[in-house]
Structure formats: structure tokens, C-alpha cells
Structure 1
Amino acid sequence: MNPIFIICFMLIHCILLPVNSLIYIIHPKCKIGKLMSLPCVKFISHFASYLSFIGMLIASSLRFAKEEKQLERFSHKYSNYFSNYTEYVENIDYVHQVDFSDFYIRSYKPSDLDLLITIWVIGQTWHEIKKLFQLGIYEYLYSPINIVNSLLNVLYIISYGLKYHTMILVASKLKQIETSKFWLDLGNLNETDLESQKNIYETFYWLNSDRFYWKSFDPINLSEGFFAIGNVIAFARLCYFLPISQQLGPLEITLGKMINDIFKFICIFIIVFTSFLFSLNNLYLYYNTEIRKKVEVSAPYNHEEEAENPFLTKAELGFGS
């Protein structure tokens, strides 16, 4: 078959993949549905879908800095309440107290990329669930790629679950500070009412986008940690598609069969390296500062500095100089 025709078919299919997928879901027995059922077309569809997912991950990472610049400042968005907030910050008698005079408000709306990635993850999760029911738990777990897919889905579900949870919290806190009751409670706050202090502190904590004031286990920090781990696995999963390449496929298969030999070589290298490590430690143990202090009455050089050339000293001793 003409290679140009194959390339054109693949490009057209990748462009029309969302439409073809919907047609396949609605009417799998039609011509397009039967075409989508062909093994080669299935592979192209999965590969194109996964490449688009990788592209969305890259775009999401690159877009993060731009999203941070679009945050709204509290003093600008709520200028009519800012004087009340300033009075609250300047009061140092509270146990639970914020120490930022102004701040940018956290994002409380998911971006279009977040929604697209979420839809893809939901679809991939549903695909894995169907495969699990079709194959059974034992046969499903027998394949390493299935385990990797499940782990990938779990990581992204946790990541975006934490992210959306934080967005919901921020949106609820914004609605809370827009009520007159909140500012009335803030004005009537006293030093003994620790519960009210804590509630108000948590309100401003969830609104502040400055990570310097965040807790270590803030949901966004955890979300980005899981997202980063998921990205590593997602990019590593591209190796699953390498065997289709005439150049990279044999190389990957050969490397996979060499893994055991590589580990054996590493073990031998570690043994040799460890032997040299202990030998050098015995040779140069004396030149440790703490040991020299215990054996030298008058030091020929400053104890705070290492010997100028301990290698030369040992060489002189070895040759009888």
C-alpha cells in the first residue's frame, strides 16, 4: 500500500478521532464503527489519544506560570472590606492570626486544560474498569501495563480530586466573606474566642495564594506532588509504544532482555567499589581533623584545614622518602 496514503489516512483519522469515537459509541455496527473496530485502527486511535494526553500535560505545565499572573488581588477585588481586614491583621492579640497584609486570591475555577485532562482520565478509568471485568482480576493484574495504567489513573484522580476540593473550598470562602455577617463577626472578635479566631484564620488561609504561608500538606501541594509522579509514569509509558518502530523497537526489546545482566554488573561494580572505599578509608583515616587533634602535640598546620596533600605524604612513605 502507498505509504503516502497510509500517512494521510492516519492524519485524517487522528483529526476526526473525537467524532469517530462518538459515532462508534452511538452506532458501533455502522461502517465507521466497523472501521474503528479494526486492530490497526484501534492502535492508531489509542496512540493518538495518548499523544494528545501527553500534549495536554505539557501544555498544563507550561501554562501554570501564566495562570498565576492572572490572580486577583484581595485589596482590589474587595476594596470596601480591605480596611476591616487591615484592622484585623494589625491586632496582635489573637492566638490564630494571619501575618500577610495583602494577598492574591487562589484560583477557584478549573482551566479548560484541567477539564480536558479530567475527561480523559475519567474515560481511561472507565476503559480500565471494563477491561478488569472482561479479563478478571487475576488475568488483569498479570499484565504489568494494566498495573501501570491503573496506577496512573489513581494518581491523576487523587491529584485532581484534591485540586477540585480546594477550588470548592476557596469558592465557599469567597461567598462567606461577601456576607456582612462575616465582617460583623470579624469586628466583634475577641481574644478569648479561639474557635472564631480559628474559623476566620482558616478563611483567609484558604484564600491566600502565596505558598509561603501554606502548610506543608496543603491540598494543592499534595495535588501537584501526585501530578508530578503521574507525569513521570505517563511519559515513561510511551515506551510501551516503541516496539512499533523499526529502529527503536528492537533496541528496547534487547535492552529489556539485558536488564538482568546490567543488574549483575552493577552488583559486581558495587563490590569492587566498596573494597576500594574501605581501603582508602584505612589509608587516609589519620588525616581526619578529629583524629589528628588526639595524636598531635604541635600541629604542623592548622587543624581547621585539611592536610595540604595527604596523597603526596602517603606516596613519600611508600617510596621511603
Structure 2
Amino acid sequence: MSKKILFQGDPDSECTKQPMDLPVLPKSLTFEEKKYLLAVQRGDMANVRRILQKAHRSNNVDMNCVDALGRGALTLAIDGENLEMVELLIVMGVDTKDALLQAINGEFVEAVELLLEHEELIHKVGEPYSWQKVDPNTAVFTRDITPLVLAAHKNNYEIIKLLLDRGATLPDPHDIRCGCDDCIRDSTEDSLRHSLARLNEYRALASPSLIALSSTDPILTAFELSWELRNLAFAEQESKAEYLELRRQVQKFAVDLLDQSRSSQELAIILNHDSDETPFNEGEHMKLARLELAIVFKQKKFVAHPNIQQLLASIWYDGVPGFRRKSALEKIMIIFRVALLFPFYCCLYMIAPNCETGKLMRKPFMKFLIHASSYLFFLLILILVSQRAEVQLVQVFGSEEMVKDLEKEMLKQRGNAPSFLEIFVFIYVLGFIWEETQEIYVEGIRSYLRNMWNFIDFTRNSLYVAVALLRIVAYFQQTAEIERDPQTKFIPREHWDAYDPQLIAEGLFAAANIFSALKLVHLFSINPHLGPLQISLGRMVIDIVKFFFIYTLVLFAFACGKFGFLEQTHGLFQTVANDSFKRLTYCRLNQLLWYFAELEKQKCYVLPGGLPDWDNAGDSCMKWRSFGK
């Protein structure tokens, strides 16, 4: 590449990008201008007034001059927090430029109010504001920084209120995937500036003072903004740390609002607030709509707040007063009693739901104990079905005649109707299906799909339904076969067709039992020790999947390299590929395995006539036979 091309650059890029304008540097100050700025910095009102009056008469001093650091008279007065000096400079006609932004940046509230009043007097409709007229190349703040944005960055409550009272607004940021003309143009011209502008907008929106002053429902606004910041953190990986920090700030604001609750009634009003329904009154049923919303938006600190946990504990143990203060033995006795009597409680609730016991069963803790007891009983039935308990019961406690009859029945392998326990399992499954259907109807399909445990329940129910359908098909199919040939009922299971519906049903039943037992993990989530382990287990499984993916790639790369090496160093491999894998896709992993199998074959078949040598090379012969099959 020649030096001419190197210095000229790419002509195509020169056509699309305009050269950057160089900033106009401050000119050298005269002696009078230096005295003027020094007097402003020292707060010498008399000298400043005299110099400005003389400047108006003789025009020997530039009132808007700046020092080597680009600081004008107003900036120096604001830095010194000299309100009288700021007022004097404004009255004497000094250009404000970005003085309002400087005052907001210094959180000089009185100067901000004064500059706002001055801006209202001099601003004309349709013209840019004073801070927008500053040269962008020398300006301290970028074009996207407005007074309200900067005040929100500083989180200054007084300044934000001043601006909002005067009608200042903050436009909603465009979506990160927005394809409007403005977003495309800004991103094309300067992608970094476009990204920083969005970050500045969200930094302003995340201001607690701005949310408190501008939102009618600050907690809901904090939830929604937190979720939006979470999505932005994953969409813009370059600014992920900044967006996550803003998300933590918004979450802390919601928690700080919760800290202001001073009684259970105030806390209940907050957690039961729903903009679509009437306000919550004391004594009504708690729907906890705001708490459910916090769970949807993954507000962990909000949900884990001590005030909320105390209220939830009081609701949870309602109906069993003082349960947490009882001894361990008393707790076990209460749980054991409910577990044993749960069939009685369920029947009583169906008969008389409004009696005292029926009302007690509506309490969360009692409802959980009865539900857990019922599910454990269901698992017990599954164990009995898997172990064929009715057969073992007759064999252990039955008479000789009953045992003989059982042995005769067990010879009938096909055409058997479902047992009593299997019918009981089917009734339970119908109850599970009704429970899931009711949950979808009440909460909606979206809320239902958010809970990953519902996928396990759906899979379990689907497998049990498939088992029932296959057993019905198998029963009618086997009954028809027995009518044609009665001896078919005695065919041993090992001689059945591999795809017999009953065999498939038994395999699906075993898989459904696994999912049923897995639901126990969900029941233990209320335990403060076992519950967090579920989160650790879930994250560990994700890490294992990632590691296995990398391991598979490394293994595949090794196999490919090994194949290339063997292909170049051994001519036998090509023969094996032509003879044994002509009809396959020449997968490199399979070729590698077949190569080593061929080596074992050569070690085995060494006797005259191509016979295997089982005495001296039995191991190689066994490997070849097992692989060749």
C-alpha cells in the first residue's frame, strides 16, 4: 500500500461521513477581562458592576468572555454559589448559555429558579433555548442532556419539582429495536452517541425523585422500569453493567417505599392495590395483587422484605395460632394428625364447607398440609401398583386356595382388566387434570406457562392419559385375540410384540412415576434450607449443560483430527470405509470406531482359513463380535 493511499484514506467512507468541525478555542483575554473574571470569582460586586457599566458605555470588555478552561462569568458565579452575583450578571445582560445546566449540575437551587425565570422572559416560541445555542464542540453537556434529564441524574428533588411545575417533560425512549427514521439516522451517524443518549434517558427515568414526583403509582412504575432495564442489559451487552446498576437502584427505591409502611393495615393496602379494582378495605380477602406483580417482574428484594414476610407468615399460619412458637414435638403431632385425617377433612369439606372445620380447611397452612398429605398418599399408591401389592398381599396373608387361584390368574398374561389400585390412580389423575384446567381458567394461560413446575404437571398428566388410552387399546386388542384363540392369554411376556400397547403403556407409566416423584421437590420449597437448594440445583444443571456442550465440541474436534491422522497414515481405513460404510454417511466418529474394530478383527482372525483364534485372542474376538452385531 502506497503512502498516498494510506494518507488519503478510503474514498467511499469520505463520501458517507462528513469531516468533524474543529472547536473554536477561547481567545486570549485582555487585562480588563482578566480583572473582570477575577472579580466575579472573588464575589466583588462593586467592581463587577463598575466593569459591566463601563463595558456597556465603551465596549472595551467582552461580558461573555471565558478563561482558558472555558468558564464564563456566570459559570464562575455559580461555582461560587453567589446568588447576588448571578442576579447581577443576568440583569447586566450576560448571555446565560448553558448556565442553567451548570446550576443544576452544581445543585444550586436558588440559581436554577432565577435562571428559569429569566429563560421564560427571553425565550421565544419556535426558537431553541439558551443551552441549545451553545456550540456542541465546546459544550460541557451533550445535546441529549436537558435540564430535567440532568436534574434527574442528580436526583435533586427540589430542582426536579421546579422543572415539572414549569411543564418540563421527559420523552419516552425509543425501543432498542426501533426502526424509525430518527433511530436509524442517529445510529448510522454515531452509534456510540446514540447508545449513550439512550443510557442517559434511562438514567434519568431511574431517578427515585422523578418517579416519586411524576408517577401516580411509583411502585408499579419501578417494577415496569426494572423489567425494562433488565431486558436492555441483555440486549446491549456493552452497557450491561450500567443498566443492571440502574435496575438495582430502581429496585431499592421500591423497597425504600415499602420501608415507609408503619402498620399491617398500610402494608396490606400497598400489597392489595389494584388500579382496576376498588381500594382494599380492612377485613376483606387479601388478593395480594401487587405482590403477585412483584413476583412476575422478579422483584426479589421486594418480595423478601421483612415486612412482607411477616405479613405472609401471619396469613400462612392463620387458623393455627402460635404454630411457630410451639415445640418441635407439638408441630409434628399437628402435622401427623392432619396427614392421617385428611380423607375425613376432605369428605367433611365436600359435605359441609361452611362449618368450622370447613372454614379451617380454607386457611393456607391447613390447605397445604392436606394437599401434601393427599399427594404423598398418591405416591404411596404408585409404589403399591409398581410392586403389585395386591399379589404380595395374597401371597403373604392368603390361604392356600387363594394362593393357588392367584397362581392360575398370573398365568393369564394377556387380556387382564385394570386392578383396583390402578383405577384409584386414574381417579387421582382425573383430579390433577381438573386442578390444572381450573388453574388455567382462573389465572390465564400466560401466568400458567410462567411457572416451570406446571410443565412437569402437564407432562405427568399427559403420560398418565397416554397410559390409560394404551391400556384400553391393549385390552380390546387382547380380548379380540383371546376370542379367536384362547391360548393367546397364556403367551409369556418375553414373546410379545416389541410394540405391544401394554408394554408401551407400562414404560410410559414408569416415566410418569418419575415426574410424580419429582413434584416432591416443589413441596419442599417452603423449607428455608431445602428451598434455596432448588435454585442452586437449577443453576448447576444449566452449567452442566454448558460444560457438556463444550465437551462435545472438543470431543468432536479430537475425533476429526484423529480421523485425518489415521486416514493419511494407514491404508486400511479406506478399505473399511468402502466395505462396511458404503451405505452410511461416512460420519467421522463412526469411521473412527469402525477402524479400531477392524484392528480387533485382524487380531482375532489369524488362523488358517480365516478362522478366529479364541484361545489366544479371545478378547479381540469378543470385541469384534459385540461391535459387529
TM range (shorter): 0.5 to 0.7
Task: Flag the 1:282–1:171 CA change in 2: closer, same or farther, 3 A.
Answer: closer
Q: In 1, distance between residues paired with 2:420 and 2:369?
A: 25
Moved more, 284-293 or 143-152: 284-293
How do 1:1-321 and structure 2 match up within 5 A? 1-2=325-326, 3-63=328-388, 66=391, 70-72=406-408, 104=412, 106=414, 108-167=416-475, 200-201=484-485, 204-205=487-488, 207-285=489-567, 286=569, 289-290=572-573, 304-305=602-603
TM-superposed CA distance for 1:136, in Å, is 2.7
Partner of 1:316: none
C-alpha distance in structure 2 between counterparts of 1:212 and 1:218, whole Å: 11
RMSD value over aligned CA atoms?
A: 3.5
* Deviation readout 1:8-53 (Å, 9 max, x if unpaired): 1111101010110111122222121122111112222222222222
SS of 1:116 mapped into structure 2: helix
Residue pair 1:166, 1:220 contacting (<8 A) in 2 also: yes
- Tell which has more relative contact order, 1 or 2 (C-alpha 8 A, sep 6+): 1
Distance in structure 2 (CA, Å) of the matches to 1:302 and 1:275? 24
Higher mean Cα deviation, 245-254 or 12-21?
Answer: 245-254
Q: Which amino acid aligns with 2:383?
A: I
Q: Which residue of 2 aligns with 1:94?
A: none
Contact 2:474 2:500 (8 Å CA) reproduced: no
Distance change >3 Å, CA 165–CA 72, structure 1 → 2: farther
- Larger Rg computed on CA atoms: 2
User: Could you tell me whether the CA contact under 8 Å between 2:566 and 2:573 is conserved in 1?
Assistant: no
Shift in alpha-carbon separation, 1:157–1:260, aligned structure 2, 3 A: closer
Q: CA deviation at 1:291?
A: 5.4
Evaluate the alpha carbon distance shift between residue 125 and residue 281 of structure 1 in structure 2; reply closer, same or farther with a 3 A threshold.
same
C-alpha distance in 2 between matches for 1:165 and 1:30: 45
Task: Provide TM-score, normalisation by structure 2.
Answer: 0.35
Task: Say if 1:284 and 1:122 are closer, same or farther in 2 by CA, change over 3 A.
Answer: same
Secondary structure of 1:14's partner?
A: helix
Deviations, residues 229-264 of structure 1 (Å, cap 9, x unaligned): 211221222222232233332222123234444433
Structure 2 gaps, min length 5: 1-324, 396-402, 578-598, 605-629
Output one character per residue of 1:268-290: Cα deviation in whole Å (capped at 9) or x when no partner. Answer: 33333333333344445546854
Give the aligned length.
246
Q: Contact conserved, 1:243 with 1:253, CA < 8 A, in 2?
A: no
- AA at the equivalent of 2:554: V
CA distance in structure 1 between the partners assigned to 2:429 and 2:380 by the alignment = 14
Pair 145,171 (structure 1): closer, same or farther in 2 beyond 3 Å? same
Q: What is the alpha-carbon distance in structure 2 between the residues aligned to residue 293 and residue 172 of structure 1?
A: 50
For 1:279, the aligned partner's letter is G
- Code of the aligned partner of 1:112: F
Distance in 2 between residues matched to 1:239 and 1:31, nearest whole Å: 32
Segment drifting more, 266-275 vs 39-48: 266-275
Kept after mapping to 1: 8 A contact 2:429/2:461? yes
Q: 2:413–2:493: 8 Å Cα contact kept in structure 1?
A: no
Contact 2:378–2:425 under 8 Å retained in 1: yes
When normalised by structure 1's length, the TM-score is: 0.64
